[in-house]
Amino acid sequence: MEQPNVKGLLILSFTAACALLAFYLSVIKNVTVVYPHLFYIPLMLAGVWYRKKAIYIALFLSAVYILVTYPLWVLDPDLSVSVLERSAILIVVAYIIGFVSEKRAQVEAELKETKDYLDDVITSSADAIVVVDMAGIVQSWNKAAEDYMGYTAAEVIGTHNKKFFADPEEAERIMAIVLREGELKNHRTVVLTKDNKPVYINMSAALLKDKKGVPVGTVRVSRDITKEVELEEKIKERRNNLNLILESMPDGVYIVSKDYDVEFMNKVLIDEFGDQVGGVCYKVFHNREAPCPRCKNTEVLTGETVRWEWHSRRKNKTYDLVETPLKNINGTLSKLTIFRDISERKRMEEELNEAKEQYMAIFEHTLTALCVIEQDKTISLANKEFESMSGYSREELAGKNWTDFIEAGDSERVRNYCDERRKGGAEACCLFTLVSRDGALKYVNAMIEPVPGENRCIASLLDITELKKNEEKLRETIEKLAELDKMKLEFLNVASHEMRSPLSPIIGYASLLEPKLTGRERGYIRRIEKCARELEEMINRMLELARIDGRKVELNLEEFSLSEVVRKVIKNLEPEAKAKSQTISSVTPELKIQADKQKTAAIFTNLISNAIRYTGEGGRIDVMVEDRGEDIYACVADTGIGIPEEHLPKIFERFYMVDTSLTRKSGSLGLGLSIVKEYVKLHGGRVWATSDLGKWSKFSFTMPKGQLTNGGE
Amino acid sequence: MKKRILIVEDAIYMREMLVEMLGAEREEYEVVGFAVNGKEAVEKYKELKPDLVTMDLVMEEMDGIQAMREIKMYDPNALILVITALGTPEQRNEALEAGADEYLWKPFTVKNLSDLLKKLLRKEKE
């Protein structure tokens, strides 16, 4: 309040001085021309100080001027015009001065306001704002700078900015860049706080120029980005870890930026496609000028993970691609792609499919009806043959219980068959009657096998209806044959009786007649008797063989002396041999066996009488018995006509004829050898023949000694 | 004393032949009668009470087996010689079980018959 008063007093005193001077000049010195210029001094001061109010001062001054000069007007009326004119000029000048001063004051106020605002901004800015002059001396240092640097403005203004940087050269470098470029953007550097602690900052700087455009300094805006840098480091570390993981992955991995730049490739992929990091993916991998039509970059960059299969024609490989967004440090997204080479899997899949198809074809076209039975007994798969066997289509079969197709009488029995099979209980084969769609009954032999490691079974069904019918026929035939066999035995029984009956008077009368005859007649009657006896023997043998076939013959075991039996047989046959001048010799150790005595005798009788029959006049017959421990061995050898080798195995067959010439001479071998074979067999022995045609024959057999009471002396 | 013999046989030529054969030793044997079937045989046995019976097995009306059983029931000491063409062990056993004392298998000679008769009569004495 005092200042305007001082100013007012000053203006007033100037005005008074001017008025006095004007008065002095005009009145005392009588200078007619009084110049109002003196009044310009207070007027200007007023204009400067009071601006628009200067107009009032100008009016006041004009009034003073008129007053002062009034005496002159009286003297010189012309002068009044001049005085008024000059007063008007004075007022106008005062107005102009006032207006101009007002404008200037306004601009100044605005400037001040701006400056205050800027100061506020600078002071309150979170970013450090520092002004450094061209010499590197700090001119301005705001609050934020104080905060993170620890220095107060007073401490640093006027000092060189070099000491703030971790790298002392940095101050020069920044200055150089700013001078060269006019600005510096997002420059990252490290500064040292008052406590000598490094702080990461992000600095932007601009060149300060004076009105003439001469650079006067730089203003630097910096931000403490230690936290961001630390975060960045962490992310980088993580990224490095990620890369490490990606490197050690057996799959190929690459990272592509949103602009298709290959940012990363792991070793697997580099080995495969070469190091293409830095290249544009569609160019380096696909030789394209534009992104691939199937590229998933857009989807992935919106945050989606995409999985798809890609076949590389170049490599002739198929890859399973998993593409997923990857957040970069700067917040942008890249695409991380994992390449898994599935060519081998694909190939195996194809092979597997092929094999499956093959097996399915076999399954389908095999001529056995096949079906797969699940644990719940439903049919899950059936082949063509199964369809044609059951008459149901596989659509109709699917899901049905397999026992649904089995006749009610059998289905209960086989209901749990599969379960039992799985437990290893039931037999592999099961028989049942299948009811086909048209109601036909089919007799089926099913083989049901559990599939290893699974709960299902595979069943193969064989339609044995025909077989069954044949079996039935066969059984009927067998029964018929047995019946026939029985009938044959019956017939032979009756026949032998009936044939024997007429033989009876033949032999009977012959025996009555014989003593009454003499000479040739007696010979005749003997021959009749002998032939009748032969016929009787034939009948006996036929009957015996039929009885053997009908299992009517049993062994009547007893212990007896074999040698004795052999001797007796030889004795009985000796007359026959003598009639042909043959000699029978025997080598028989004293030997007891347990056997059927009668049948043993029959064996020897048959063999020896055969030998007699087929050996010529004067031949020799050798009978030999050997003790061979558990068994006895016996043979009857002769010097007869022999048997052709090819006939040897067959001579024990019934009515086997060796050859016609032989037959003519001696007839059929008859049934004697068959009886021998059967009797030996009944005893558990073996019989065979050896021969040298025209020279000799030898019939051998073995027979167990049987259970002897006394170890067999 | 001559042994009185009853011949049971359905075939006439066999009956005649047996008479012939026994006639060869007429001081030993005397044929006292014939029967052509089992039923008749039993009746004749009761009527004639012979020392020995020759018995055929296969006959009509009543077969030899049944006849033997009945005769043996009537007279357990009856001597019976079976003369038959049946020769299987089963048939033989059946006959022996029914009471046959000896078994002569057809065909046979006069000697076979006389040997067996002697053996049978000797056995009786014992």
C-alpha to C-alpha distance for A567 and A564, rounded to whole angstroms: 5
Q: Which of A190, A224, A258 is the last residue before a domain boundary?
A: A224
Q: In this structure, is residue A283 part of a structural domain?
A: yes
A530 close to B (CB below 8 A): no
Look at chain A and report how many structural domains it folds into: 6
The residue in chain B having the minimum alpha-carbon distance to the alpha carbon of residue A501 is B85
The residue in chain A having the minimum alpha-carbon distance to the alpha carbon of residue B86 is A497
A310-330 mean pLDDT: 85
C-alpha to C-alpha distance for A298 and A300, rounded to whole angstroms: 5
Q: In this structure, is residue A713 part of a structural domain?
A: no
C-alpha to C-alpha distance for A667 and B12, rounded to whole angstroms: 35
Tokens at residue A581, please? 């001048």
| Contact call for B88 and A547, based on CB within 8 A | yes
- Interface probe, candidates A501, A513, A526, A554, chain B, greatest B C-beta count within 10 A: A501
Closest CA–CA distance from residue B83 to any residue of chain A (Å): 10
Query: What is the interface pTM, i.e. ipTM, of the complex?
Result: 0.89
C-alpha to C-alpha distance for A505 and B13, rounded to whole angstroms: 7
> Is A430's pLDDT higher than 70?
yes
Q: Which of A65-69, A416-420, A433-437 has the lowest mean pLDDT?
A: A65-69
Give the domain CATH number at A694.
3.30.565.10
The CB density around residue B52, as the number of other CB atoms within 10 Å, is 22
pLDDT at A1: 41
Q: Pick from A504, A512, A547: which is nearest to B106 by CB?
A: A504
Q: Pick from B11, B86, B109: which is nearest to A511 by CB?
A: B109
For B31, residues 6+ apart whose C-beta sits below 8 A from its C-beta are: B5, B6, B7, B18, B19, B22, B23
Tokens at residue B56, please? 């055929």
Reported as a pLDDT band with limits 50, 70 and 90, residue A711 is very low
Pair A140, A96 in one domain: no
Q: Pick from B24, B85, B88: which is nearest to A512 by CB?
A: B24
Pair A573, A539 in one domain: no
Reported as a pLDDT band with limits 50, 70 and 90, residue A81 is low
Reported as a pLDDT band with limits 50, 70 and 90, residue A83 is low
> Is B2's pLDDT higher than 70?
yes
Q: Which of A440, A463, A486 is the last residue before a domain boundary?
A: A463
A540 close to B (CB below 8 A): yes
Largest CA distance in chain A: 242
Residue ranges making up the domain that contains A200 = 125-224
Q: Pick from B88, B106, B112: which is nearest to A501 by CB?
A: B106
> Is A569's pLDDT higher than 90?
yes
What residues of chain B have any CB closer than 8 angstroms to a CB in chain A?
Answer: 11, 13-14, 17, 20-21, 24, 58, 85-88, 90, 106-112
> Is A264's pLDDT higher than 50?
yes
Pair A218, A272 in one domain: no
The pair phi, psi for residue A639, each rounded to 5°, is: -105, 45
Q: Which residues of A touch B104 (CB under 8 A)?
A: none
> Is B51's pLDDT higher than 90?
yes
Closest CA–CA distance from residue B20 to any residue of chain A (Å): 8
Exposure of A34 in the CB half-sphere (CA atoms within 13 A): 35
> Is A710's pLDDT higher than 80?
no
Contacts 24+ apart (CB under 8 A), A705-713: A705/A592, A705/A593, A705/A594, A705/A630, A705/A631, A705/A632, A706/A557, A706/A559, A706/A593, A706/A594, A706/A595, A707/A594, A708/A559, A708/A592, A708/A593, A708/A594, A709/A559, A710/A592, A712/A591, A712/A592, A712/A593, A713/A590, A713/A592
Q: In this structure, is residue A357 part of a structural domain?
A: no
Q: Pick from A497, A508, A529: which is nearest to B21 by CB?
A: A508
Q: Which residues of A touch B107 (CB under 8 A)?
A: 500, 503-508, 532, 536
Pair A75, A152 in one domain: no
- SS3 of A327, please? strand
Tokens at residue A377, please? 């007994």
Residue type, A701: F
Q: In terms of pLDDT, which residue wins out, A6 or B36? A: B36
- Interface probe, candidates B88, B92, B103, B108, chain A, greatest A C-beta count within 10 A: B88
| Contact call for A507 and B107, based on CB within 8 A | yes
Q: Which of A30-34, A120-124, A641-645 has the lowest mean pLDDT?
A: A30-34
Pair A419, A492 in one domain: no
Pair A562, A682 in one domain: yes
| Contact call for A503 and B107, based on CB within 8 A | yes
Q: Which of A95, A118, A141 is the last residue before a domain boundary?
A: A118
Give the domain CATH number at A415.
3.30.450.20
Which candidate, A412, A424, A482, A486, places its Cα nearest to that of A449?
A424
Q: Which residues of B touch A540 (CB under 8 A)?
A: 87
Q: Which residues of A touch B14 (CB under 8 A)?
A: 501, 504-505
Reported as a pLDDT band with limits 50, 70 and 90, residue A622 is very high
What one-character-per-residue DSSP string does A617-651 give?
TT-EEEEEEEEETTEEEEEEEE-S----GGGGGGT
- Interface probe, candidates B91, B92, B110, B116, chain A, greatest A C-beta count within 10 A: B110
Closest CA–CA distance from residue B70 to any residue of chain A (Å): 24
Q: Which residues of A touch B87 (CB under 8 A)?
A: 496, 500, 540, 543
| Contact call for B107 and A500, based on CB within 8 A | yes
Tokens at residue A565, please? 């039996």
pLDDT at A690: 93
Pair A198, A308 in one domain: no
pLDDT at A713: 41
Residue ranges making up the domain that contains B97 = 3-125
C-alpha to C-alpha distance for A656 and A647, rounded to whole angstroms: 9
CB A255 within 8 A of CB A335: yes
Q: Which of A142-151, A475-484, A651-660 has the lowest mean pLDDT?
A: A651-660
A254-269 mean pLDDT: 88
Q: Report CA B2 to chain centroid distance, whole Å.
A: 16
Q: Which of A351-355, A497-501, B52-56, B75-79 has the lowest mean pLDDT?
A: A497-501
Give the domain CATH number at B59.
3.40.50.2300
C-alpha to C-alpha distance for A300 and A305, rounded to whole angstroms: 6
Q: Pick from B20, B21, B58: which is nearest to A497 by CB?
A: B58
| Contact call for B107 and A512, based on CB within 8 A | no
Pair A565, A696 in one domain: yes
CB crowding A649-663: b at 16 or more within 10 Å, else e: eebbebeeebeeebe
pLDDT at A624: 95
| Contact call for B85 and A547, based on CB within 8 A | no
Tokens at residue B4, please? 């009185």
pLDDT at A31: 64
The residue in chain B having the minimum alpha-carbon distance to the alpha carbon of residue A508 is B109
Q: In terms of pLDDT, which residue wins out, A83 or A427? A: A427
A287 CB burial (10 A radius; 0-12, 13-18, 19+): exposed
pLDDT at A98: 72
What one-character-per-residue DSSP string does A406-462 give?
B-HHHHHHHTTHHHHHHTT-S-SEEEEEEE-TTS-EEEEEEEEEEPTTSS-EEEEEE
A557-581 mean pLDDT: 93
SS3 string, A197-224, reads: CEEEEEEEEEEEECCCCCEEEEEEEEEE
- Interface probe, candidates B7, B17, B18, chain A, greatest A C-beta count within 10 A: B17
Pair A266, A308 in one domain: yes
pLDDT at B35: 94
pLDDT at B124: 74
Pair A560, A549 in one domain: no
A506 close to B (CB below 8 A): yes
Bridge pairing between strands A138-141 and A128-133:
antiparallel
| Contact call for A500 and B13, based on CB within 8 A | no
Pick the most confident of A56-65, A66-75, A184-193: A184-193
| Contact call for A500 and B106, based on CB within 8 A | yes
| Contact call for A508 and B111, based on CB within 8 A | no
Q: In this structure, is residue A352 part of a structural domain?
A: no
Q: Which residues of A touch B111 (CB under 8 A)?
A: 511
CB A83 within 8 A of CB A73: yes
Q: Which residues of B touch A504 (CB under 8 A)?
A: 14, 17, 85, 106-108
A331-339 mean pLDDT: 86
The size of the A-B interface in CB pairs under 8 A is 60
Q: Which residues of A touch B21 (CB under 8 A)?
A: 508, 512
**DSSP letter, residue A296:** -
> Is B4's pLDDT higher than 90?
yes
Q: Pick from B24, B88, B107: which is nearest to A504 by CB?
A: B107
Which candidate, A671, A625, A666, places its Cα nearest to that of A643?
A666
- Interface probe, candidates A489, A494, A497, A538, chain B, greatest B C-beta count within 10 A: A497
| Mean pLDDT, rounded, of chain A | 84
A539 close to B (CB below 8 A): no
A342 close to B (CB below 8 A): no
B60-77 mean pLDDT: 92
For residue range A354-387, list pLDDT tens digits in order: 998 998 888 888 888 898 988 888 888 899 999 9
Pair A559, A672 in one domain: yes
> Is A408's pLDDT higher than 50?
yes
For residue range A286-318, list pLDDT tens digits in order: 888 888 888 888 888 888 899 998 888 888 888
Look at chain B and report how many structural domains it folds into: 1
Q: In this structure, is residue A437 part of a structural domain?
A: yes
Q: In this structure, is residue A31 part of a structural domain?
A: yes
Tell me the residues of chain A between 551 and 590 that have a Cβ less than 8 Å away from chain B: 552
pLDDT at A2: 45
Q: In this structure, is residue A474 part of a structural domain?
A: yes
Pair A510, A619 in one domain: no
Which residue shows structure tokens 């008025």? A19
> Is A663's pLDDT higher than 50?
no
